[in-house]
């Protein structure tokens, strides 16, 4: 947990026992996996936006998107059924 202390004009972090002033420079970085996930999410977002634009122009693309959504829904239902049958 971190906070800004206006009395000392400094950033502080809580170590579980007390608030400690952060001095010097600090560096915060994401893990490699987090960076990869963010890149994947950006690519997925861009792909979805591209498909949405195509679907506005072409009815066959809109139909294909609906078919994919239906198939994903059926897949989720099947996965639930499979999990349910494993517990019996």
Over residues 34-73, the pLDDT tens digits come to 999 999 999 999 999 999 999 999 999 999 999 999 999 9
How many angstroms separate the CA atoms of 67 and 62, rounded? Answer: 9
Q: Is residue 18 part of a domain?
A: no
State the total domains in the chain: 1
Q: Is residue 4 part of a domain?
A: no
Residue 88 pLDDT level (bands cut at 50, 70, 90): low
Q: What is the pTM of this model?
A: 0.59
Q: Is residue 19 part of a domain?
A: no
Q: Is residue 56 part of a domain?
A: yes
> Which segments within the chain are labelled E, that is strand?
2-5, 10-14, 19-21
How many angstroms separate the CA atoms of 74 and 47, rounded? Answer: 22
């Amino acid at each position: 947990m971190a906070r800004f202390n206006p009395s000392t004009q400094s950033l502080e972090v809580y170590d579980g026992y007390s608030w400690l002033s952060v001095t010097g420079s600090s560096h915060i970085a994401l893990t490699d996996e987090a960076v990869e996930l963010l890149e994947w999410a950006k690519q997925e977002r861009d792909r979805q936006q591209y498909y949405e634009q195509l679907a506005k122009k072409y009815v066959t693309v809109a139909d294909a998107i609906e078919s994919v959504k239906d198939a994903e829904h059926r897949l989720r239902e099947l996965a639930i059924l499979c999990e349910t049958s494993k517990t019996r």
